[in-house]
């Protein structure tokens, strides 16, 4: 089986849809949330657990795997899926986000509110990543060693990692770059996209014994409507070496308050027949906005990262289960959740684990959070099929609020 995408149902507003992405390692029913296994593992959780809670695919990071253990090692192991004992579909992002953000001293999560800025982003201290027309020179966050990523190298690394869906190398910008820089960066990303297509075609022919890898172009443009639409038109019609992009990733810093609007700009310009992945989005309210405006798949570290700090999701909101109010609360995290954690453990027990700094605490919280988000998007998919998406959205968000206790 190669790669294919089929739309199975269109929602009421014309953008939202359900579909099936066919990959060499199985289908992905969309819309779908893809848990992040940055270093070929979803932190603190077994692959069997991730599969049992309904996840259809996982996403790993090319930058981290390039640095450790090395993409050649994963290639020799038979590819990402075999290396990490995950039989289903896999994604890798291009490494561009980490090369730019970790390499330049940014926060791990680029601010998307537009109202705060770490001084390190614009200070005169040594930058660990430098961008030029050919690519990016950066220093490893692990040991300070110098490395080089170009569109060609990113393609080579991702082909060696062997994921079913890979992404073109792009330049990360933030909400703090002015429009002139955004315009220059967007044009550079366009030129890099052409080079990615050329190298992807070359590697696909050279490694024809390997399963086909689908290449998604990445759309930048920050919060500028004209730039986002230009990126979508440019990459949506782009071809080189006789091939086109198989799908598209919507990337970069996006103002959360305008997420649905920005996704809509892009979707209206892209070919309807190809899947759209919304990079780095995973909070419940944002997922509704993405699905409603035509995104098909999503990935985000939030469910797993927050789980490690005791923050858990419930239908009435997010809360920190380590809080004092839960010391003697013997109810599950969420009464309606059917995950392993909620079936077997109480808030009081998780409270004890986190206060005792036991490793099992993050594991059980991760199982719940990933299950909650995967199941939420699956319910959106079912609601779209049944013509009930708006009612489901209103019902869920009417009860949900992002409180922290």
Q: Which pair of structure tokens corresponds to residue 209?
A: 């014994």
* Dist CA 35 CA 21 (whole Å): 16
**Which residue's structure tokens are 């393609």?**
155
Question: H or E element: which one contains 373?
Answer: helix 360-385
Is residue 277 within 8 A of residue 59, CB to CB? The reply is no
**Which residue's structure tokens are 């009417």?**
398
* Dist CA 167 CA 227 (whole Å): 20
Nearest by Cα to 112 from 382, 302, 389, 318? 302
Q: Is 268 a catalytic residue?
A: no
Question: H or E element: which one contains 240?
Answer: strand 239-240
Q: Is 93 a catalytic residue?
A: yes
| The one catalytic residue among 75, 93, 234, 286 | 93
CA distances for 290 relative to 126, 266, 294, angstroms:
37, 11, 6
Question: H or E element: which one contains 35?
Answer: strand 32-35
| The one catalytic residue among 75, 234, 299, 334 | 299
Q: Is 74 helix (H, G, I), strand (E, B) or coil?
A: helix
Partners of 130 in beta bridges: 137
Rounded to the nearest 5°, which phi and psi values hold at 330? Answer: -95, 15
List helix spans (H) across 259-345. Answer: 259-269, 284-292, 302-307, 340-344
Nearest by Cα to 357 from 322, 331, 323? 322
User: Which residues are identified as catalytic?
Assistant: 93, 299
């Amino acid at each position: 089986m190669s790669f294919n995408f089929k739309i199975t149902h269109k929602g009421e507003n014309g953008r939202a849809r359900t579909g099936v992405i066919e990959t060499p390692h199985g289908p992905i029913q969309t819309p779908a949330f893809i848990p992040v296994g940055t270093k070929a593992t979803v932190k603190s959780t077994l692959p069997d657990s991730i599969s049992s809670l309904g996840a259809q695919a996982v996403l790993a990071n090319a930058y981290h795997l390039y640095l450790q253990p090395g993409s050649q090692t994963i290639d020799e192991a038979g590819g990402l899926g075999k290396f990490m004992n995950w039989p289903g579909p896999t994604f890798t992002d291009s490494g561009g986000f980490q090369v730019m953000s970790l390499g330049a001293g940014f926060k791990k999560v680029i601010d998307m509110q537009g109202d705060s800025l770490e001084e390190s982003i614009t200070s005169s201290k040594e930058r660990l990543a430098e961008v030029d027309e050919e690519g990016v020179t950066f220093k490893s966050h692990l040991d300070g060693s110098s490395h080089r990523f170009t569109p060609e190298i990113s393609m080579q690394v991702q082909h060696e990692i062997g994921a079913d869906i890979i992404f073109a190398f792009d330049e990360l910008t933030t909400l703090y770059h002015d429009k002139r820089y955004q315009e220059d960066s967007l044009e550079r990303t366009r030129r890099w996209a052409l080079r990615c297509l050329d190298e992807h075609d070359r590697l696909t022919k050279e490694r024809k014994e390997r399963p086909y890898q689908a290449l998604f172009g990445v759309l930048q443009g920050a919060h500028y409507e004209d730039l986002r639409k230009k990126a979508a038109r440019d990459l949506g019609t782009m071809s080189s070496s006789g091939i086109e992009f198989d799908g598209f990733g919507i990337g970069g810093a996006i103002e959360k308050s305008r997420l649905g609007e920005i996704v809509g700009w892009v979707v209206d310009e892209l070919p309807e027949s190809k899947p759209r992945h919304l990079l780095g989005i995973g909070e419940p309210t944002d997922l509704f906005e993405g699905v409603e405006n035509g995104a098909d798949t999503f990935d985000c570290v939030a469910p797993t990262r927050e789980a490690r700090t005791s923050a858990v999701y419930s239908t009435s909101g997010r809360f920190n289960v380590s809080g004092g109010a839960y010391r003697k609360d013997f109810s599950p995290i969420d009464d309606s959740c059917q995950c392993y954690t909620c079936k077997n453990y109480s808030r009081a027990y998780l409270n004890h684990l986190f206060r005792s700094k036991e490793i099992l605490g993050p594991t059980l919280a991760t199982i719940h959070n990933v299950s909650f988000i995967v199941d939420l998007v699956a319910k959106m998919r079912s609601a779209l099929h049944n013509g009930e998406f708006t009612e489901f959205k209103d019902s869920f968000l009417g009860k949900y609020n992002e409180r922290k206790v």
